[in-house]
Amino acid sequence: MGLNDSSPGAMRNGRGLSDQWAESVVVRPRTTERHITVHKRLVLGFALSILTLIIVTAVAVVLSVRFEECGAPDREGATGESGSRGSGGSAKLNGSKGERTGERGDDEAVQPWRNSRLPGSLRPRHYDLRLAVYMDNFTFSGEVSIELECVNATRFIVLHADRLEGGAGGRPVNRPGGGAMRVHRHFSFPANQMYVVVLHRELKPMRVYRLNVSFDAAIEDELLGFFRSSYTLQRERRYLAVTQFSPIHARKAFPCFDEPIYKATFSLTLRHDPQYTSLSNMPVESSSLSDEDGWVTDRFARTPRMSTYYLAWAVCNFTYRETQTDSGVTIRLYARPDAIASGAGDYALHITKRLLGFYQDYFKVQYSLPKLDLLAVPKHPYAAMENWGLSVFVEQKILLDAEVSSSSYQMELTMVVVHEICHQWFGDLVTPVWWEDVWLKEGFAHFFEYVGTDFLFPKWNMEKQRFLTDVLHEVMLLDGLSSSHPISQEVEQATDIDRVFDWIAYKKGAALIRMLANVMGQPLFQKGLNDYLLSHMYSNAARDDLWSKLSQAMRSEGRDINIGEMMDRWTLQMGYPVVTISKNQSEQLPTHYITVSQEHFLYTQEVRSNNSLQWQVPLTVAVGNTSAVCLESLIWINNKTETHRVGQMGDNTWLLGNINQTGYFRVNYDLQNWKLLIQQLHTNPQIISVGNRAGLIDDAFNLARDNWLQKLHTVCFLAEACFNDICATFIRKKTEERNRKQGNTNKHPQNIDYVLRQVASRYHQMGWPTNGPGSESNVLQASYQTEELQRELIMLACSFGNKQCHRQAVAYISDWISSNKNRIPPNIRDIVYCTGVSLMDEDVWEFIWMKFHSSNAVSEKKILLEALTCSDNTFLLNRLLNLSLTSDLVPEQDVIDVIIHVGRNPQGRNLAWKYFREKWDVLNARYGEALFMNSKLISGVTEFLNTERELNELKEFIQFGGVGAGPALPRALEIVEGNVRWHRLHRRQFYQWLRKPPGPALG
């Protein structure tokens, strides 16, 4: 991304950062003091709704601008700012309602407010923000005093303020002591969410000024900015208000420089009704009670330097539990009083204490704040948000009821907490310069979900096994599409920011970091991360800053690898290669040479011939035979085709590439090597690790798309050779993928027989769990992987119609209804609920609906709601769809999940697809600004479309109705086109193959 910037420290592509911007500002001593005071009042509007008798006081903003020279900047304010600054390109707009035409001679040809980025002439050093929060009518008023440093002489003050307009005109304003400065004009520019003050005289470089703004605004019901939520306690409705500022919503709550590079310190004061508690990033420094109205004023300690989107506050009447680390950090978990009383937050509190110690030891950098609060809110647009010192979680991702929560739920909760705590370093302490490199924080946090969970529960084997099925295999499906994109994307407009928050950033970022960690080795990887964090703490960094520190760590051990040159191929290009390894077939070379080639892997065969992409591939190779595997070696592949020497090989020696799938690429072999590998797995599979077996299955399955019938036997044999929890997960996911292409294959006898043949013996061998709620056999024990395998087998057996599985599920539901005691083991409740709803009558659906509303356990409510989408009754499915969007009965953040799960139900696919198109405008208006929401919804309702009619409907929707959907629609179109193509070319042959008895692999 080329940045148009004339300010000191400008860089290209958001990379190669230093402290140039900060170091270019040298504050000179002054002998005179200047005061510039500007007052104005902005009135946004008042709307009176007669029908509801509710006055919505939107925003009446009083903007008071006062500039004072504040002395030389201290070293904290003057240094440590790194990164590129720039405008990022023209918005290409024709003006807006709030813009007023300037007079001749204004010298405003540049018009910085028309650029999508702030101009960089001014930078904030400190915000003093004072708020009064009125929970009775959901409004707040505030004043913010921003200490500004002038970098380049300018007459323009440009900052962010969403929906704020003003109008005191160009009146002169007196300041105490005499003297005046005229405001030439001022206006809002809504197209870029900016507010502009044009002065008569320039602000001087290397001087510090102060800007004061007063405002009133509403605490919105939407899920972004400063919004409200509610819950019921003892039949009383209670309210709370909380912030969600990432990525660009701090400007909804106060005027600010709302870009990550503009780090500053914050002092926050909150005034509120005494029945509430206020929270923020830092501890309360002082608290006072007003003699006049009895209200409380809490002043919070000054924060470290941080970006605006990590500022956070909340006003609630929650209670808390707390603990303390050995280093003295206080950790509190705030939640509804009944949840705290039941101990639902204790588990998260316990692992957070352990995780702070783990990250401090791993990164060799101390946690920076004196406290860390975890806030569990009933309504939130995301699983969680890593605000520094005040991380906010939706209740489902942090509250755990040990009596009813499954091991899967507990594992998911654990990983969310691990993710957010990692962000206290990667994100909060060191922040990406700009959103193009958001993967620098999200990829690290996603990778450490598995590393940190392995620290908590080593026997789960998360990084070596679960990472493969949940991260690597998932993202390679997306990244193998021609509609994919590089992990580092250009971002110019605010509307572009949403598209960089996708699974490519999170999961591909995690996979690339894992690959790099394995290439470097853990000691050097940790050394590089330590140097990176220490060099850029309280500041910003871009990808080249990371590559530089990791390269330095490698050179310290005599390994001269240019990490930046290597990783640019992986971050600036889309996709990944398939590496083909062939034993030497030439008489001119001995048998210990192999030929290795790379090619861009794409599922759409038609576009493959046009690709010219190459990668620097760290290929690990091992040579083995029936009894042993030699030590692996690392080969760097830089060209399309290369020849390399490996260990001595004979006719019965096989090659294995990409050991444990640490590399982000697929591996193919010559036909003879495939046969040797399959023979090895058939006779003695333990020679090859579980991770390698999973990699072989996934590569074979995806490479088989070129020739399904040749490779299907290979996949079948490989699956039988490594049947454990990871392979059961693989079979389930590939069955779902096959369903997507073929339609409702669960109803085809051949498909039923095939899947049941794969799982029947292991299903009957493992049986059903016998432990009830409260048993010691839970996720904290080493039995987790066994439980997961058992769960996967039951899920497959029930979904494909195993009679014994159906009888057991129905018996459990019937017992629950008759006794009103739920004896269903927590680990399989979701399977039993879904199976019961799909097989039994409407009364069971009503029973589950009633239990959904009466349950207080958030994990139980989640699976009860999903079970309602399993019905075969289209009337009930339609009813659920309409209730979810038009009533308060379904939590707002769960509406999209309801639509998606209805779409995954073969009986509900058409209903969900039709409902999605009819309600798109409503859904987009409600969730369009929330990251992930639209892309999650679009992929969820379209992934099972596979007919020409549905493909045409999707094309029509894209052409005429999908406004605001972003890049999710082109990706969905490519997937559906692939489904239709497979359906047309392979479906008949596939069912002929299913009818045949199993034969030898590869024919």
Q: Is the pLDDT of residue 772 over 70?
A: no
- According to the model, what pLDDT value does residue 486 have? 94
Full strand arrangement of the beta sheet holding 384-385: 319-324, 330-335, 371-377, 390-394, 384-385
Q: What is the pLDDT of residues 17-50, one digit of tens each?
A: 333 333 333 333 333 333 333 333 333 333 434 3
Q: What is the pLDDT of residue 319?
A: 97
pLDDT tens-place string over residues 637-694? 999 999 998 877 777 889 999 999 999 999 999 988 988 988 888 888 888 888 898 8
Per-domain boundaries in the chain: 115-317, 319-424, 433-574, 576-721, 723-768+784-801, 803-872, 873-996
- φ, ψ (nearest 5 deg) of residue 724: -145, -165
**pLDDT over 90 at 578, yes or no:** yes
pLDDT digits (tens, 9 = 90+) for 420-448: 999 999 999 999 999 999 999 999 999 99
Catalogue the E-assigned strands of 35-179. Answer: 35-49, 54-68, 122-134, 139-150, 154-160, 172-174
Which of 226-240, 454-468, 599-613, 799-813 is least confident?
A: 599-613
Q: Which range, of 56-65, 79-88, 325-334, 338-347, averages the lowest pLDDT?
A: 79-88
Q: Are 508 and 475 in contact (CB under 8 A)?
A: yes
Give the chain's mean pLDDT: 81
What average pLDDT does the segment 467-485 reach? 92
Q: How far apart are CA 631 and CA 585, in angstroms?
A: 24
Q: What is the pLDDT of residue 729?
A: 56
Distance CA 633, CA 925 (A): 54
**What is the percent of the chain where pLDDT is above 70?**
77
Angle at 643 between CA 642 and CA 647, to 5 degrees: 140
473-482, 754-763, 772-781, 836-845: lowest mean pLDDT where?
772-781
The pLDDT of residue 711 is above 80: no
Q: Report residue 260 as tokens.
A: 């990550």
DSSP state, residue 51 = T
Tell whether 184 is in a known binding site: no
Q: Which residues contact 449 (CB under 8 A, 6 or more apart)?
A: 415, 416, 418, 419, 422, 462, 510
Q: Which of 395, 420, 463, 866 is catalytic?
A: 420
The yes-or-no verdict on residue 203 having pLDDT over 70 is yes
pLDDT > 90 in the chain, percent: 53
492 vs 39 pLDDT, higher one:
492
Please state, in angstroms and rounded to a whole number, the distance separating the CA atoms of residues 542 and 945: 40
State whether CATH 2.60.40.1910 applies to domain 576-721: yes
- Reading the block at residue 938, the tokens are 């679009």
Strand partners, 287: 298
* Confidence (pLDDT) at 771: 55
Instruction: Please check the confidence at residue 609 and state whether its pLDDT lies above 50.
Output: no
Mean pLDDT of 925-929: 80
Give the full edge-to-edge strand order of the sheet including 154-160.
154-160, 194-203, 180-189, 172-174
Q: Does pLDDT of 586 surpass 70?
A: no
CA separation for the pair 719, 384 (Å, rounded): 36
CATH of domain 433-574: 1.10.390.10
165 marked as part of a ligand binding site: no
- Fold of the domain spanning 873-996: Zincin-like fold (1.25.50)
Closest Cα to residue 127, out of 315, 254, 41? 254
Determine the average pLDDT of the residues in 76-82: 34
Cα–Cα distance, 11 to 609 (Å, whole number): 36
User: What's CA 515's distance to the chain center, in Å?
Assistant: 20
CA 11 to chain centroid: 27
Q: Calculate mean pLDDT across residues 129-152.
A: 94
Overall residue count recorded for the chain in this entry: 1003
442 is in an annotated binding site: yes
CATH class of segment(s) 115-317: mainly beta
pLDDT digits (tens, 9 = 90+) for 231-272: 988 889 999 999 999 999 999 999 999 999 999 999 999 999
Same fold, 115-317 and 873-996: no
> How far apart, in whole angstroms, are the C-alpha atoms of residue 575 and residue 477?
10
pLDDT band at 64 (very low <50, low <70, confident <90, very high): very low
Q: When comparing pLDDT for 766 and 659, which is higher?
A: 659
Whether domain 319-424 has CATH 1.10.390.10: the reply is yes
Q: Is 334:387 a contact under the CB 8 Å cutoff? A: no
**Quick one: CA dihedral 361, 363, 368, 372, positive or negative?**
negative
Say yes or no to pLDDT of 736 above 70.
no
pLDDT tens for each residue of 858-881? 999 999 999 999 999 999 999 999
The pLDDT confidence band at residue 966, using thresholds 50, 70 and 90, is confident
Q: Cα–Cα distance between 265 and 301 in angstroms, integer?
A: 10
Q: The dihedral of CA 381, 382, 383, 385: what is its sign?
A: negative
More confident residue, 36 or 351: 351
Q: Quick one: CA dihedral 356, 359, 361, 363, positive or negative? A: negative
Q: What are phi and psi of 95, to 5 degrees?
A: 95, 180
Q: Rounded to whole angstroms, how far apart are CA atoms 306 and 264?
A: 6
Amino acid at 380: H
Dihedral over Cα of 417, 421, 423, 428: its sign: positive
pLDDT of residue 621 exceeding 80: yes
Distance in angstroms (rounded) separating the CA atoms of residues 682 and 698:
17
Check if 165 is active-site: no
- Highest average pLDDT, of 91-95, 459-463, 522-526, comes from 522-526
Other residues' Cβ atoms within 10 Å of the Cβ of residue 104: 5
The top-scoring range by mean pLDDT among 13-17, 27-31, 482-486 is: 482-486
Concatenated DSSP letters for 877-931? Answer: HHHHHHHHHHSSSS-GGGHHHHHHHHHHSTTTHHHHHHHHHHTHHHHHHHHTTST
Amino acid, res. 502: D
